[in-house]
Amino acid sequence: MITVYSSVKSSRLEYVLHFIFENLLEIEFKWTQDSTNLEGVILNYSDEILPFQNYQIQPSGFLVDGNWDFKKYIFLKNKSNYFFPEEKGDHDFDILSSIFFIISRMEEYYTKDYDEHQRFISSNSSLVKLNLEQNPIVDQWCFSLLSQLNAKFNVEITSPRKFHQYPTFDIDNAYAFKYKGFSRSFGSFFKDLISFRFYKLKQRLEFLIGKIKDPYDNYDYILEFLKTNQLKSIFFFLLGDYAKMDKNINHKHPYLINLIRSISKKHLTGIHPSYTSFNNLEILKMEISRIDKITSKTSISRFHYLKFNFPTSYQILLKAGIKQDYSMGFSDRIGFRAGTCTPFYFYDLENECTTDLKIFPFAYMDGVLNDKLNMTPEYSSKLISKIKHEVRKVNGAFNAVWHNESLSNQDRWKGWRSVFETTWLD
């Protein structure tokens, strides 16, 4: 048992303590403001000099509810002590404030600098600027703190958590050619023609004459791979109305309904809120109701195009009854957007409270590797293995985003099945 002493109390401090000890390290702790009768392993989060052995972390003052002035605590040019440095105490930085700043995503609130899809620009991230995003830095800090507590008190408190992994899939477009109807098929054919996408025309013709199967219809392969390797997964289905950025087949189509029901018998299914549902509660509720009619009531989501922002997107998820969201990752690079591979609860900074929405980070997305970073399958496999190794060292949760279309092993995705397979078998 670790006892945390603090002379002040705040919602932020309570939140970060529960995250570190309960969520991440999975060890018992208690928190007190009473400095009398303290014994055992004492973490002193105050500027008080206690008359008995303790491990002191000097508080920066940032965890006072309502404090938004994070810039004065962060030093991006200092490569060793960049967040909330402290000269006093046993720890050279305020680890509690640092972790709260990173996982609360405070720097993403109220930004006016978005990309073309109204998303946070990753190059503005403090972690990215310090080249720390490819490490689960928060998890590393927490295990380092536990090690230092053990050394200080000559004890052996260990974390029982175990490494685990789970692939997830976004079904943006269930089929490339099948079930699109005459008008959509003709329109796509004409667009391929005037765009000189001759490989697509060839593919479409071969499908029509029965020479090949639909290149997006890779569900048998995916489900067999998961079964053979005893992997549990989550499939997120886009069920929004047809639009420029939302091009799945109609949510009422019997083949899409059958696909969702078939997969839901073996794996979790969730809603993939459409591009047009962005920060729109009514559209979001409508799309959730569509999947609820097909399977049992869902409470999990991941935003299409990873189009979400703080705090509105998460606030409307809560209002719509969503309890778990898997959108926390980069849309243009790999790594840990919130600095951790551990699920954490959304802390609503506007209302200074911990919410019931649990956020599950992912390490990379297939399209980022291929389309954004132009990496080869061989190099991608090596880089993924490196990141996974870092997650394994902290016994974390390794999660990645794939799409049914990227496992076709055709055209621009030729060779990418091997990346998918080595990701989970490494």
Give helix then strand counts, H and E, for the chain.
Answer: 13, 13
In this structure, are 242 and 384 located in the same domain? yes
In this structure, are 221 and 75 located in the same domain? no
Distance CA 70, CA 76 (A): 12
Q: Which CATH number does the domain housing residue 402 bear? A: 3.20.20.370
Domain that holds residue 407: 164-176+214-425
State mean pLDDT over 45-58: 96
The tens digit of pLDDT for each residue in 343-355 reads: 999 999 999 999 9
| pLDDT of amino acid 201 | 65
Structure tokens at 91: 């720890």
| pLDDT of amino acid 77 | 74
Which amino acid is present at 400?
A
- Mode of pairing for the β-strands spanning 300-301 and 164-171: unpaired
Distance CA 279, CA 297 (A): 21
Classify residue 158 as left (phi > 0), alpha (psi -120 to 50) or beta. beta
* Secondary structure class of 369 (helix, strand, coil): helix
**Residue 193 domain flag:** no
- Cite the DSSP H helix spans in 237-280: 254-264
The tens digit of pLDDT for each residue in 391-411 reads: 999 999 999 999 999 999 988
Instruction: Check whether 81 has a pLDDT greater than 90.
Output: no
Distance CA 101, CA 107 (A): 8
Distance from the Cα of residue 171 to its chain's centroid: 17
* Secondary structure class of 396 (helix, strand, coil): coil
State mean pLDDT over 307-320: 97
In this structure, are 296 and 347 located in the same domain? yes
In this structure, are 172 and 123 located in the same domain? no
Q: Phi, psi at residue 301, to the nearest 5°?
A: -155, 160
- If one counts the domains in the chain, the total is 2
| pLDDT of amino acid 185 | 53
In this structure, are 246 and 109 located in the same domain? no
**Residue 298 domain flag:** yes
Classify residue 299 as left (phi > 0), alpha (psi -120 to 50) or beta. alpha
Instruction: Check whether 190 has a pLDDT greater than 60.
Output: no
Residue percentage of the chain with pLDDT more than 90: 84
Distance from the Cα of residue 9 to its chain's centroid: 29
